[in-house]
């Protein structure tokens, strides 16, 4: 067991865990933040996307030990004071979710995009979401939701 110090959703944590686990496992099993989903466990589907030091990453591909001193944002940090964020509301308004399995990863990728580029073009949105797979909704409602969150459907 090794200690890892990291900040998750603005809160400092010191976690004792095995050296061979992923950031996804640390979040889900040690911090009980289960929003990031275990999908492919190979970095292909995006269901486990979190924001890691300002960038979206597949948390299944990051060793927990690499997160020493890191700042991580998960879907659990998106809502504030019990209210969904404008981005989450845009997903709801545009029916950009069905089963919801991919939604946390989608929202975190979209959040990272909007934090970096508050007024992305449609092409910017498509490019930013390339690493996130959805098997239910198709991608048009997701793109439209991100456009809405960026200041209006274009």
Distance between CA atoms of 51 and 132, rounded to whole angstroms? Answer: 14
What is the per-residue pLDDT across 46-93, written as a single tens digit (0 to 9) for each? Answer: 999 999 999 999 999 999 999 999 999 999 999 999 999 999 999 999
Mean pLDDT over the full length of the chain: 95
**This prediction's pTM:** 0.94
Mean pLDDT throughout 99-112?
95
105 and 68 co-located in one domain: no
Work out the pLDDT band at 153, boundaries 50, 70, 90: low
Confidence (pLDDT) at 154:
45
62 and 12 co-located in one domain: yes
Confidence (pLDDT) at 98:
85
63 and 107 co-located in one domain: no
Among 76, 103, 124, the domain-final residue is 76
Confidence (pLDDT) at 79:
95
Inside any domain, residue 91:
yes
Higher pLDDT: 153 or 1? It is 1
14 and 50 co-located in one domain: yes
Confidence (pLDDT) at 5:
98
Mean pLDDT throughout 9-30?
98
The helix or strand, by DSSP H or E, that contains position 72, with its residue range, turns out to be strand 71-73
DSSP state of 70: -
72 and 98 co-located in one domain: no
Distance between CA atoms of 100 and 77, rounded to whole angstroms? Answer: 17
Inside any domain, residue 102:
yes
Number of domains comprising the chain: 2
Inside any domain, residue 17:
yes
65 and 10 co-located in one domain: yes
Inside any domain, residue 81:
no
60 and 11 co-located in one domain: yes
Task: Specify the CATH number for the domain of residue 15.
Answer: 3.10.20.30
Among 26, 58, 76, the domain-final residue is 76
Q: Write out the residue range of the structural domain in which residue 33 sits.
A: 2-76
Confidence (pLDDT) at 74:
98
90 and 67 co-located in one domain: no
Inside any domain, residue 66:
yes
Structure tokens at 26: 């640390």
Question: How many Cβ atoms from other residues are within 10 Å of residue 98's Cβ?
Answer: 14
Among 15, 43, 76, the domain-final residue is 76
Inside any domain, residue 16:
yes
Work out the pLDDT band at 152, boundaries 50, 70, 90: low
What is the per-residue pLDDT across 108-144, written as a single tens digit (0 to 9) for each? Answer: 999 999 999 999 999 999 999 999 999 887 899 999 9
């Amino acid at each position: 067991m090794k200690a890892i110090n990291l900040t998750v959703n603005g809160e400092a944590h010191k976690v004792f865990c095995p050296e061979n686990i992923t950031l996804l496992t640390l979040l889900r099993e040690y911090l009980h933040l289960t929003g990031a989903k275990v999908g492919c466990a190979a970095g292909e589907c995006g269901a486990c996307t979190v924001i890691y030091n300002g960038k979206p990453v597949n948390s299944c591909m990051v060793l927990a030990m690499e997160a020493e001193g890191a700042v991580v944002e998960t879907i659990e940090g998106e809502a504030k004071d019990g209210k969904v964020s404008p981005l989450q509301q845009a997903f709801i308004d545009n029916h950009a979710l069905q089963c919801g399995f991919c939604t946390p990863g989608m929202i975190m990728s979209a959040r990272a995009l909007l934090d970096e580029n508050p007024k992305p073009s449609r092409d910017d949105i498509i490019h930013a979401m390339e690493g996130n797979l959805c098997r239910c909704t198709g991608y048009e409602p997701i793109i439209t939701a991100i456009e809405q969150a960026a200041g209006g459907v274009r």
